């Protein structure tokens, strides 16, 4: 067979693979405590029978249960259930050896799970430092909400090994900050920066209305997070 014939055959195979789809999406936990049960589902096209692998190896040994059920025409769902997760269950899961997508699960010893939460009141213009616990020379990832701090336009914020330094903290810095160890992503410290509660429009007057008419009283404050407001009749309890 000449080279032109080989190219034609390859072209047909590529076209066929494209026509048959080839998508795979996963749903499941990313971090699992040792001893817990977990499951992963993958939605894939119906032209290939889903086969689960872990780190590229076929899953055998009876620790996993595979269920197949149709989702919609042209696709199906494969569910993998793992009972009592252990270190051997950490890694890249796949239900389609022909697809490059993987779902990563990290099984972490419960004793290593460490989450502390601290709250700081923002004093605009003053320096502020957040320190991960436990302190170490191991690098940490810093997040503001769900975004990486390193990609945020905050020139007054400096990241060090286990510290996040604010050179003149601002009211706009309010929110939830999280640091996670590079070596053990489930070991994290959580910090909340909150703004002082300020009244937008202080109103201290008495409204007199006719009996049976409607009277509206306004109470408007600004803060991050938004404060809880309660109303009282007479003196405060």
DSSP three-state, residue 169: coil
Q: In this predicted structure, what is the pLDDT of residue 200? A: 55
Confidence of residue 182 (pLDDT cuts 50, 70, 90): confident
Beta-strand runs (E) in the chain: 24-27, 31-33, 38-45, 53-54, 57-58, 64-72, 75-82, 91-94, 103-108, 115-121, 128-131, 140-144, 147-148, 157-159, 163-166, 175-181, 188-194, 198-199, 221-222
233 or 56: which leads in pLDDT: 56
Mean pLDDT, the chain, integer: 71
Residue 5: the pLDDT is 41
Q: Which of 12-26, 62-76, 152-166, 185-199 has the lowest mean pLDDT?
A: 12-26
d(CA 103, CA 80): 12
For the residues 84-103, what does the mean pLDDT come to?
Answer: 80
Q: Is the pLDDT of residue 63 over 70?
A: no
Q: Give the least confident one: 41-50, 142-151, 197-206.
A: 197-206
State the distance between the two ends of the chain, measured CA to CA, in whole angstroms: 94
pLDDT at 108 over 70: no
| Domains and their CATH numbers in the chain | 25-109 (2.60.40.10), 111-225 (2.60.40.10)
- Top mean pLDDT of 48-52, 122-126, 158-162 is at 122-126
Do 21 and 47 contact (CB within 8 A), yes or no?
yes
User: Which range has highest mean pLDDT (46-55, 135-144, 204-213)?
Assistant: 135-144
**pLDDT of the residue at 235:** 65
Output 75 or 51, whichever has higher pLDDT. 51
Instruction: Return the pLDDT at 18.
Output: 36
Question: Does the pLDDT at position 237 exceed 50?
Answer: no
Segment 169-182 mean pLDDT? 86
- Is residue 33's pLDDT more than 60? yes
Residue 166 has pLDDT above 90, yes or no: yes
């Amino acid at each position: 067979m000449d080279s032109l014939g080989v190219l034609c055959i390859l072209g047909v195979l590529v076209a066929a693979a494209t026509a048959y789809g080839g998508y795979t999406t996963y749903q499941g936990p990313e971090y699992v405590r040792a001893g817990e049960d977990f499951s992963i589902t993958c939605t894939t096209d119906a032209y290939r029978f889903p086969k689960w692998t872990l780190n590229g190896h076929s899953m055998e040994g009876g620790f996993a249960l595979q269920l197949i059920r149709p989702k919609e025409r042209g696709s199906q769902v494969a569910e993998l259930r793992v009972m009592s997760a252990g270190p051997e269950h950490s890694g890249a899961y796949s239900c389609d050896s022909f697809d490059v997508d993987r779902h990563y699960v990290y099984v972490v010893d419960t004793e290593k799970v460490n989450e502390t939460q601290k709250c700081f009141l923002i004093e605009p213009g003053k320096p502020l430092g957040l320190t991960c616990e436990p302190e170490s020379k191991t690098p940490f990832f810093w997040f503001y909400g769900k975004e990486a701090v390193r990609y945020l336009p905050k020139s007054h914020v400096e990241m060090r090994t286990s510290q996040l330094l604010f050179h003149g903290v601002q009211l706009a810095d309010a929110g939830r900050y999280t640091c996670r160890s590079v070596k053990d992503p489930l070991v994290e410290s959580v910090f909340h920066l909150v703004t002082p509660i300020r009244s937008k429009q202080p109103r201290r007057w008495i409204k007199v209305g006719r009996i049976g008419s409607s009277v509206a009283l306004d109470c408007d404050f600004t803060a991050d997070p938004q404060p809880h407001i309660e109303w009282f009749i007479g003196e405060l309890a």
